[in-house]
């Protein structure tokens, strides 16, 4: 058994500040500062300089007073001052606020509910006193203090921590050590494009309330390197991620540690490269407790992560690897480790490198600390030091943590958090406000993107702002912690119609508790409200709040002047509605005033209060309609089940859909029950004491599930309600399950009651069909012995009560086929062998050898979808008695040759050009190359897994073409190298066909000029081409060309179902004065009715013992099996789409199976038990 120990951290404190910027924590603190004893860290002048590496600049050594340290750990104070003395410079005084960096309470158990508790340290964030642009993160443990300090006044960062070989603590500048610890990062899916909104920070409305949960896995070498002490590992990891979290908090990004997993025996991660460690991590860890995950290890070097890991359906895309260092030549290297971990998480948050050609709105780089990624110009070194996502640690300017991630990367990361639907709030408390807690509530109108706001202090400085928003007619809230004083709130509407009452009943109010400080909703472009707050106010008519006996803000009541009421967003005074009616305000909108006002969508109709407006497209029945959008004098007639045509929601003529009877032969699916056990047993019956309704995190779906254990027959089971299955053809039961502590060979069963006895339908065995601590979904189909009093039952067969199975989300569905087939119903049903033909009652079906033209044939026994194509001289294929494509034989004209003296066939000139004849060189024109891919790649290169030499009917010319899918460099094909220096113009002619490309997606033709690729033509779906149509395209280029030029086609779509097929590429060079006209020409050759379907491969069971079964949709196929080290284990050809492979001789572990078919290459993973 692999030994994984899961840390359990239990926190009860509610002082969670971690979502605030450290400088704001210090500003918000209203408590007195507790100055730690000056004797906590005292200067050490006895340690030899030989123990300190020469790269450490201006080191300061300290003695740590452990007695005072224990007093600090026992103290209840949350706001402290820590003084770091120095001989050669002023003492550094840190203002620090305690933060909680982990979820308040969580429990992770290994088999047997074993918990591992460790003593926790205390974590602080703040600034250097008097330097609001600085940043500090400090952690205090039983025997050490660790952290970093950063300021724009420093070139790099100050590192504080314990020496490796003694208790002496050191404070040093990390600038030169960071450069020694060389770091490169492998981004798994770089070169993503950012929108202008992301770069400018316009998609971050709710970033402050969303939290990213970080899962950390610690490799075995770190555990042994820390003396095999879980406490030492915990101190190191939490101390590092307090510093990482501080960098993210400084960007208004909230993080928390959701789980720490420590390997206490050798782990399965043993590569010498970072990509190898990353691949091993994603292969082994199938899912994790958190939003993003990271493996940290001393092995390999550098790090690897995908870009944008939020809410990905494949957990591999949310994972990363970081190779770290604990020390460098006896001194702690914490800032290095913090940089690597924060950098890799930064990719998962959505940021690319700052030297990537992806920024500034024009695909250029932010800095030039490394060779630019994408070939754009190098902008040089940043004068103020680099940021987290840079490689500036390799240069003289270094990386300064006070610079954070930088404006544009920070905006992108905040945008990705804001739009990540899977993120929630961190568990535990929120900000502790000791001043004035103020809440802003805004209900936006139907156009929320028009609404923005800001809050300024008495110095006219914006301290909070928000919007634009999404979600029409929704309520937004923001909480502020304000010091005593006066403030100005301003709300803006970019269209100029306010938020009430033309397009919704929007409003805003600012409250301190129950006291209204400002409110409104009816305005044009802006509305400004000034208010004051105090922790101990005395009510007056000028204090800017509603208090005392006031009925409004500084108005109303016995002493203050009357309140104005027509713009305050509430119904008051003599108003008969909100800000309308009465002697002062404008009349309220009604449903009979003859004008369109209020929330009406028409004159006196529509909106929440008036009757709906009649129309034939509003999706409701209104006006004189006799049905939804149909009937009456205006709308089209309503569909009926007897009008003799297929209309409405019918799936056939007068049949099918939600209203008409099912069409003949239709399979009708009936939901017999869905059981999730969230509110009770849902009608299922508990068998005995070893079956119980469980609530907790082990439930496969939701909060509740049914837990069974032991092997006490009925007492270890639970059964369904009675079900009438007698009228059905078949039944499917699908369920989720999770197991815990079930030993190998033990099992549970799905059983069926057939009216007289229980029979076993399926047995699920530990080690064969499942492993513990993993969620599974299983489906079983029953097609016989269906009775009217049937039941299903789950029963456990374990060895004791600790062998637990959690069953959840049980869905039972029945299937029945509607009978009554006829020979005129337009479908194949009953005993028909074709559509309305064949069988004992219908006329014989047309065949391709009956000697007559019938069915869908276009000739006698030829043509149509089933028979061979009829021979013609213009069908583009060689058939009949032709000796070539549409030529030769007794009927068609003679086939073209390369010596018949005319331009014909695929020649581009008289007896020259095309795939067969010699290249043309007529006057100023030379054919450089012609590529048809019929016998291979013709010298072109594939970019990777998304580029494939395809053979089939979807090729634009002949049998073979090049297929590209998805996007990026792996979705490209590149030509051979050409010497083009003698030409003044180049024409690239090719054919292409698309399948599955959404409108707006594109592919490009690029030219390589010897140093970089340039896009010379873009082809956009919906604008320039449609799917399933073959196009002949010519792209003309002019100018000077390189001696090592190349061309490349690249798909720029979204996913693996967006296909482009490239074929018949002819590249021609031109010299002289009469060159090419135009740039890009696209002509339609022909449209197809077929669609391209990707080949699929299914392997099961998985995990497997002896025989691996496969299903493949395209044969023949060459199937290869590799182990995780890339060694070829098996290589065979298969000709049956369904078969078995003997894997009994394989060792236990994970393997890769690859199927190569005429149309695709597919790979799957499987596990051998």
For the stretch 1032-1049, pLDDT in tens is 898 989 889 999 999 999
Count other Cβ atoms within 10 Å, centred on residue 66.
Answer: 13
Of 975, 983, 976, 977, which is closest to residue 1041 (Cα–Cα)? 983
Summarize pLDDT for 975-1026 with one digit per residue, the tens. 999 999 999 999 999 999 999 899 999 999 999 999 999 999 999 998 888 8
Higher pLDDT, 566 or 226: 226
DSSP assigned state of 853: -
Rounded CA separation 598/488 (Å): 30
Percentage, residues of the chain above pLDDT 90: 36
- Show the DSSP H helices in 92-229 as ranges: 175-180, 196-200, 220-225
Query: Which residues face 1032 on adjacent strands?
Result: 991, 1083
- For the ranges 401-410, 561-570, 773-782, 821-830, which has the lowest average pLDDT? 821-830
Q: Is 715 helix (H, G, I), strand (E, B) or coil?
A: helix
- pLDDT tens track for 563-579: 767 877 777 766 777 77
pLDDT of residue 1068 exceeding 60: yes
pLDDT at 896: 77
Are 300 and 277 within 8 A, CB to CB?
Answer: yes
Instruction: Count the helix, strand and coil residues of the chain and give each as a percent rounded to the nearest 5.
Output: 10, 35, 55
Cβ–Cβ under 8 Å, residues 531 and 509: no
Contacts of 554 (CB under 8 A, 6+ apart): 540, 541, 542, 543, 544, 545, 546, 560
| Beta bridge mates, 758 | 753
Q: Which residues contact 398 (CB under 8 A, 6 or more apart)?
A: 155, 156, 175, 178, 179, 385, 386, 392
**How much is the pLDDT for 7?**
33
Residue 354, pLDDT score:
94
pLDDT in tens, 875-933: 767 777 777 777 888 778 877 777 776 767 666 666 666 667 766 554 478 889 999 99
pLDDT at 539 over 80: no
Q: What's residue 429's pLDDT?
A: 34
Structure tokens, 226:
């820390």
DSSP state of 27: H
Closest CA to 796 of 754, 751, 832: 751
Query: Residue 694: which residues within 8 A CB-CB, separation 6 or more?
Result: 704, 705, 706, 707, 806
Rounded CA separation 659/282 (Å): 49
**Rounded Cα gap, residues 1024 and 1092, in angstroms:** 20
Specify which residues 173 forms β-bridges with.
57, 158
Question: Which domains can be identified in the chain, with CATH numbers?
Answer: 5-175 (no CATH), 433-582 (no CATH), 614-661 (no CATH), 676-730+739-817 (2.60.120.260), 921-1087 (2.60.120.260), 1097-1168 (2.60.40.1930)
Q: Which of 258-262, 324-328, 403-407 has the lowest mean pLDDT?
A: 324-328
Residues 1033 and 1030: their CA atoms lie apart, in Å, by 10
What pLDDT score was predicted for residue 47? 66
- What is residue 138's three-state secondary structure? strand
Between 52 and 798, the more confident residue is 798
Tally the residues of the chain. 1169
Euclidean distance between the first and the last CA atom of the chain, given in angstroms as a whole number: 14
pLDDT at 830 over 80: no
Alpha-carbon distance of 678 to 694, in angstroms, equals: 10
Give dist(CA 890, CA 882) in Å, integer: 8
Q: Are 940 and 974 in contact (CB under 8 A)?
A: yes
Of the listed ranges 287-296, 763-772, 825-834, 1111-1120, the least confidently predicted one is 825-834
For the stretch 677-716, pLDDT in tens is 999 999 999 999 999 999 999 999 999 999 999 998 999 9
pLDDT in tens, 386-438: 999 998 888 878 888 889 999 999 999 999 998 898 887 765 333 445 678 89
Centroid of chain to Cα 42: 50
Q: What is the pLDDT of residue 681?
A: 96
Q: What is the 3-state secondary structure (H, E, C) of 615-675?
A: CCCCCCCCCCCCECCECCCCCCCCCCCCCCCCCCCCCECCECCCCCCCCCCCEEEEEEEEE
pLDDT at residue 488, rounded to an integer? 93
Mean pLDDT score of the chain: 83
Query: What's the Rg (C-alpha) of the chain?
Result: 37
How are beta strands 254-263 and 211-218 bridged, if at all? parallel
Span of 401-410, 544-553, 665-674, 1121-1130 with lowest mean pLDDT: 544-553
Return the pLDDT at 50: 55
Range picked from 330-334, 591-595, 766-770 for highest mean pLDDT: 766-770
Beta bridge partners of 1149: 1168
* H helix runs in 109-229, sequence order: 175-180, 196-200, 220-225
Residue found by looking up tokens 């590569």 in the block = 271
Residue with tokens 């086939």: 895
Residue 760 reports pLDDT greater than 90: yes
- Give 1081's pLDDT tier (boundaries 50, 70, 90): low
396/1066: higher pLDDT: 1066
Q: What does the pLDDT look like over 831-875, one tens digit per residue?
A: 677 777 887 778 888 888 877 888 778 877 788 888 877 777 777
Asked if residue 1074 has pLDDT above 70, the reply is no
- Give the tens place of pLDDT for each residue, 155-200: 778 889 998 888 889 888 877 565 555 555 655 445 678 888 888 8
User: How far, in Å, are 221, 688, 718, 731 from residue 751 at the CA level?
Assistant: 47, 16, 10, 14
pLDDT tens for 94-131 read 999 999 887 643 334 333 335 577 788 899 999 999 89
Q: What is the pLDDT of residue 363?
A: 93
Question: Is 80 exceeded by the pLDDT of residue 344?
Answer: yes
765 pLDDT exceeds 80?
A: yes
pTM of the complete model beyond 0.85: no
* pLDDT for residue 430: 36
**Measured distance CA(49)–CA(61) in Å, rounded:** 10
The whole-angstrom separation of Cα 723 and Cα 810 is 14
Give the C-alpha separation, 373 to 313, whole Å.
28
Nearest to 752 by CA among 731, 736, 778, 773: 731
Quick: pLDDT tens for 234-244: 889 999 999 99
Question: Which run of H or of E encompasses 1082?
Answer: strand 1080-1087
Q: What is the dihedral of CA 442, 448, 450, 452, to 10 degrees?
A: 30
Is 90 exceeded by the pLDDT of residue 674? yes
Q: Residue for token digits 């509530």?
A: 441
Average pLDDT over residues 303-331: 85
Token digits of residue 874: 């213009």
How much is the pLDDT for 111?
32
Position 10 scores a pLDDT of 28
- pLDDT confidence of 664, banded at 50, 70, 90? low
- Please state which of the ranges 51-65, 129-143, 1015-1029 shows the lowest mean pLDDT: 51-65
For residue 1129, give every residue at least 6 positions away whose Cβ sits within 8 Å of its Cβ, in sequence order, or none. 1121, 1122, 1123, 1146, 1151
């Amino acid at each position: 058994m692999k030994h994984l120990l899961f840390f359990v951290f239990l926190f009860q404190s509610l002082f969670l500040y971690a979502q605030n910027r450290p400088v704001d924590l210090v500003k918000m603190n209203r408590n007195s500062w507790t100055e730690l004893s000056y004797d906590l860290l005292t200067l050490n002048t006895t340690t030899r300089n030989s123990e300190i590496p020469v790269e450490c600049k201006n080191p300061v050594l300290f003695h740590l007073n452990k007695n005072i340290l224990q007093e600090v750990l026992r103290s209840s104070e949350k706001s402290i001052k820590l003084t770091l003395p120095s001989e050669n410079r002023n003492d550094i005084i840190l203002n620090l606020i305690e933060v909680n960096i982990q979820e308040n309470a969580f429990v992770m158990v290994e088999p047997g509910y074993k918990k591992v508790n460790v003593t926790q340290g205390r974590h602080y964030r703040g600034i250097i006193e008097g330097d609001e642009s600085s940043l500090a993160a400090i952690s205090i443990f039983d025997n050490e203090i660790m952290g970093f300090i950063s300021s724009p006044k420093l070139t790099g960062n100050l590192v504080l921590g314990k020496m490796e070989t003694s208790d002496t603590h050191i404070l040093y500048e990390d600038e030169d050590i960071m450069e020694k610890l060389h770091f490169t990062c492998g981004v798994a899916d770089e070169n993503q494009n950012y929108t202008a909104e992301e770069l400018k920070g316009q998609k971050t409305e709710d970033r402050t309330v969303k939290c990213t949960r970080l899962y950390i896995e610690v490799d075995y070498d770190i555990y042994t390197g820390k003396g095999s002490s879980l406490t030492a590992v915990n101190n190191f990891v939490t101390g590092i991620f307090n510093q990482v979290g501080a960098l993210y908090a400084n960007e208004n990004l909230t993080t928390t540690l959701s789980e720490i997993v420590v390997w206490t025996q050798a782990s399965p991660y043993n590569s010498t490269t970072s990509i190898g460690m990353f691949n091993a991590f994603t292969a082994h860890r199938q899912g994790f407790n958190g939003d993003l995950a990271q493996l940290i290890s001393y092995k390999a070097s550098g790090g690897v992560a995908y870009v944008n890991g939020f809410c990905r359906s494949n957990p591999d895309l949310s994972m990363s690897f970081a190779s770290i260092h604990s020390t460098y030549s006896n001194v702690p290297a914490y800032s290095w480790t913090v940089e690597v971990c924060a950098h890799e998480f930064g990719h998962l948050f959505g940021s690319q490198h700052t030297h990537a050609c992806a920024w500034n709105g024009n695909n250029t780089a932010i800095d030039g600390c490394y060779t630019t990624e994408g070939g754009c110009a190098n902008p040089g070194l940043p004068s103020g030091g680099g940021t987290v996502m840079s490689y500036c640690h390799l240069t003289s300017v270094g990386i300064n943590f006070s610079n954070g991630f930088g404006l544009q990367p920070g905006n992108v990361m905040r945008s990705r958090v804001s739009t990540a639907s899977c993120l929630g709030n961190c568990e535990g408390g929120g900000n502790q406000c000791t001043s004035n807690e103020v809440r802003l509530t805004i209900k936006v109108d139907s156009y929320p993107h028009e609404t923005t706001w800001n809050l300024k202090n008495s110095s006219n400085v914006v301290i909070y702002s928000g919007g634009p928003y999404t979600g029409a007619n929704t309520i937004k809230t923001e909480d502020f912690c304000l010091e005593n004083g006066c403030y100005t709130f301003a709300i803006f509407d970019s269209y100029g119609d306010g938020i009430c009452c033309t397009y919704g009943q929007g409003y805003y109010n600012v409250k301190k508790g129950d006291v209204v400080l400002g409110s409104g909703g009816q305005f044009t472009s802006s509305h400004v409200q000034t208010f004051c707050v105090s922790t101990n106010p005395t009510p007056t008519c000028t204090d800017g709040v509603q208090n005392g006996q006031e009925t409004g803000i500084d108005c109303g009541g016995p002493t203050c002047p009357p309140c104005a009421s027509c713009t305050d967003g509430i119904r008051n005074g003599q108003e008969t509605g909100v800000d309308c009616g009465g002697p002062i305000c404008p009349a309220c909108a009604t449903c009979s005033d003859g004008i369109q006002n209020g929330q009406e969508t028409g004159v006196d109709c529509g909106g929440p209060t008036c009757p709906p407006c009649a129309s034939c497209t509003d999706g409701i029945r209104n006006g004189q309609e006799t049905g939804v959008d149909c009937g009456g004098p205006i709308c089209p007639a309503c569909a009926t089940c007897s009008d003799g045509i297929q209309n409405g929601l019918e799936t056939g003529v007068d049949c099918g859909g939600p209203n008409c009877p099912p069409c003949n032969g239709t399979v009708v699916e009936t939901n017999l029950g869905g059981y999730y056990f969230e509110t009770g047993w849902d009608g299922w019956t508990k068998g005995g004491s070893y079956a119980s309704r469980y609530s907790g995190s082990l439930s496969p779906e939701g909060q509740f599930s049914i837990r069974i254990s032991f092997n006490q027959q009925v007492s270890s089971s639970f059964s369904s309600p009675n079900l009438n299955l007698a009228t059905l053809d078949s039944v499917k039961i699908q369920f989720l399950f999770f197991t815990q502590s079930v030993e190998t060979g033990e099992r549970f069963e799905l059983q069926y009651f057939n009216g007289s006895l229980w029979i076993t339908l399926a047995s699920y065995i530990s080690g064969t069909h499942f492993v513990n601590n993993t969620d599974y979904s299983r489906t079983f189909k029953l097609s016989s012995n269906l009775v009217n009093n049937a039941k299903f039952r789950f029963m456990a067969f374990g060895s004791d009560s600790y062998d637990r199975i959690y069953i959840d989300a049980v869905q039972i569905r029945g299937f029945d086929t509607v009978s009554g087939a006829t020979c005129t119903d337009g479908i194949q049903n009953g005993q028909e062998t074709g559509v309305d033909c064949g069988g004992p009652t219908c006329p014989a079906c047309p065949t391709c050898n009956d000697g007559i033209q019938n069915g869908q044939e276009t000739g006698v026994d030829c043509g149509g979808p089933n028979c061979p194509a009829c021979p013609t001289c213009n069908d583009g294929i060689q058939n009949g008695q032709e000796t070539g494509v549409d030529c030769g034989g007794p009927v068609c004209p003679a086939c073209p040759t390369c010596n018949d003296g005319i331009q014909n066939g695929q020649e581009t000139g008289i007896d020259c050009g095309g795939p067969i004849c010699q290249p043309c060189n007529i006057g100023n024109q030379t054919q450089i190359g012609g590529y048809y891919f019929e016998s291979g790649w013709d010298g072109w290169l594939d970019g990777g897994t998304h580029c494939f030499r395809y053979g089939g009917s979807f090729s634009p010319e002949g049998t073979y073409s090049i297929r590209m899918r998805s996007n990026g460099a792996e979705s490209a094909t590149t030509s051979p190298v050409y010497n083009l220096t003698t030409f003044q113009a180049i024409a690239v002619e090719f054919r292409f066909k698309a399948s599955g490309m959404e409108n707006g997606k594109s592919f490009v033709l690029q030219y390589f000029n010897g140093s970089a690729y340039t896009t010379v033509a873009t082809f956009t779906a919906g604008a320039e081409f449609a799917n399933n149509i073959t196009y002949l395209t010519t792209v003309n280029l002019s100018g000077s060309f390189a001696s090592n030029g190349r061309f490349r086609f690249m798909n720029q779509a979204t996913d693996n179902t967006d296909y482009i097929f490239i074929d018949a590429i002819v590249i021609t060079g031109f010299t002289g004065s009469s060159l090419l006209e135009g740039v890009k020409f696209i002509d339609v050759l022909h449209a197809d009715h077929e669609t391209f379907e990707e080949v699929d491969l299914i392997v099961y069971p998985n995990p497997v013992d002896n025989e691996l079964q496969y299903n493949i949709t395209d044969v023949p196929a060459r199937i290869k099996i590799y182990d995780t080290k890339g060694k070829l284990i098996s290589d065979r050809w298969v000709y049956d789409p369904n078969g078995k492979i003997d894997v009994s001789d394989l060792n236990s572990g994970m393997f890769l199976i690859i199927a190569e078919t005429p149309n695709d290459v597919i790979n799957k993973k499987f596990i051998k038990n």
